[in-house]
Structure 1
C-alpha cells in the first residue's frame, strides 16, 4: 500500500467488515491517505492477510452484533491507537429468499449485523466523537434501501434502517461537529455479489448490467459493475474535510442503476 500525505495522516479510522470486498478497499484507501486503520471483522484469517499488507493496519476480531464486545473493542482501539477520527460501517451479510420463504433466523441475523451492528458502533464511537467535538461516520448502505428488490426484503429493509439510523445520528451529533453520511452502492464486484452469480460469472454480470424486467430491475446505465475501489473513494471523500459541510447525506454510487428513484 503506497501512502500519500493528506489530512488523514496519523488519524485513526475504524473500518468494520474490513476483511474483504468493500471493507478491505476502504481500509486500503485510508492507509493510502496516511490513516492508521483499526480493521474490524469477525473472521481472523482475512484480517491477518490485510494487516500483512501494511503496518498501518491493525486487526481486531469482532462481531458487531455483540454490543458489549463493540464497546470493549472501541475502548481497546482508542487506548492502543488513539482517538477514532473516522468510523466506516461496512460489515454486512446477505440472505436472499422470497418473503414467504424467509426464515426467522435469516431475518434476525441480517438485522443483527446490518442494522444493530451499525447502532452498536455508531453509539460507541459517536459518544466519544461528540465529547471531542469532531469526527466523521460513514455507513455503507445499499441502493436496495431505496428501491424494492425481489428476494432481498431482509437485506433491503436492514439497509434502509441503517440508513435512517445514520441520518438520525447525524442530526443528533451535528452540533458537536460530528458528520454522519451514507454511501449506497449498487452491484459491486465482491464475494457477496459473485455468490449470487453462480458458475457462469461473466454471463451473470452481463445480466446485471443489462437488467431484468421479469424481476422489475433496470440495468446499469454506465454499463459496468462497480469495483470496490469505486465505493471506497466515495467513502474517503465523505470522511474527509473536503466534505466538511455535508452531513445526513445518502450518496448513491450505482452507475445510475436506480435512476435515483
Structure 2
C-alpha cells in the first residue's frame, strides 16, 4: 500500500484504531477521523513522520464530510481507500425503542456510511479506481435481541455498500463489507456493563458459550475477536490482493452466526 492514501472513520479507538495501524503498517498514509478529536489525535501521534493525520469528524454531518474529503484531496492527495468504521450502539427491546435512539443509530451507522461513500466514490470513479470497505456487524444478517436499531442500521449499510459497488464496478472501484462478531472493544465492554456484569472475564466466557435464552449461538473458535483480527480482514479487502473481490460480505466472527 506504499504511496496510497486512506480515509478511516471511527479511528479513535477499537477497530478503527486497529485499521489505522494495519494500513499504516503496510505503507499507506492515513487520514484518521473520529468524533472524538482528542482520541484520534493520540492515535495519529503514535505514528512518526506524518504517516497518519488525525482530524475530528462527525460522519452524520454531510457537509462536514464533503468538506473534509475535499480538503484532504487538495492537501494530502487523492484518496485510494476509504474505510467506514464509525458506529454507535443503543440497546433496547424493539417495543421500547425511543425515536431519538433509533434516529441517532441510523444517523451514524447508516447515514454516515452514505455520506462518506458518496463523497469518496464520486472521486474514485472519476479517477478509475479505489477501494471502499464498510465495517458492519454480523447482526446485519442474524437477528439479535435488544439490538433492533443497531442490526437494522448495519443491514442497511451492507446493502447500500453493495449497491454502490455494483454501480461503480465498471469504473474500477471495489466496495466490500466486513461483518465482525463479538470483538473486545469499548462497545463490547459497554454492553457488559449495561447488563450488570462486573467480571469481564466471566462476561467473555458467557459470550463464547452463547446464550440460549437470547437465541445467541456461541463462538465455535472459542475466543472473542481482537480488533486486529477485524483490521487484517479490512486491510486484505482494501489491498490489491483482493483486486477481483467486490460486493463481498466477509463475516469475521469465529463462526458465531454459522453464516446463516
State the TM-score, normalized to the length of structure 1: 0.97
Question: Which of 40, 62, 66 is residue 57 of structure 2 equivalent to?
Answer: 62
2:251 equivalent in structure 1: 252
CA distance in 2, matches of 1:196, 1:129: 37
Q: Per the alignment, in what secondary structure is the counterpart of residue 37 of structure 1?
A: strand
Match of 2:46 among 53, 59, 73: 53
Quote the Cα distance in structure 2 between the aligned partners of 1:141 and 1:49.
25
8 Å contact 2:44–2:53 — kept in the other structure? Answer: yes
> Hey, what does 1:239 align to over in structure 2?
238
User: Which of 65, 74, 80 is the equivalent residue of 2:69?
Assistant: 74
Match of 2:35 in 1: 42
Show the counterpart of 2:79.
84
1:253, CA displacement in angstroms? 0.2
Aligned residues: 254
Match of 2:122 in 1: 127
Q: Distance in 2 between matches of 1:60 and 1:81?
A: 13
Query: Which whole-Å CA distance do the structure 2 matches of 1:220 and 1:33 have between them?
Result: 30
Q: How far apart are 1:220 and its partner, in Å? A: 0.1
Secondary structure of the 2:54 match is strand
Q: Which runs of 5+ in 1 are unaligned?
A: 1-7
2:132–2:176 contact (8 Å) kept in structure 1: yes
**Partner residue, 1:9:** 2
Q: When the two structures are superposed, what TM-score results if normalisation uses the length of structure 2? A: 0.97
Q: Which runs of 4+ in 1 moved over 3 A?
A: none
Unaligned runs of 5+ in 2: none
Q: Which residue does 1:158 correspond to in 2?
A: 153
Kindly state the Cα deviation for residue 107 of structure 1 after the two structures are TM-superposed. 0.2
> What's the counterpart of residue 171 of structure 1?
166
- Aligned residue in 1 for 2:220: 221
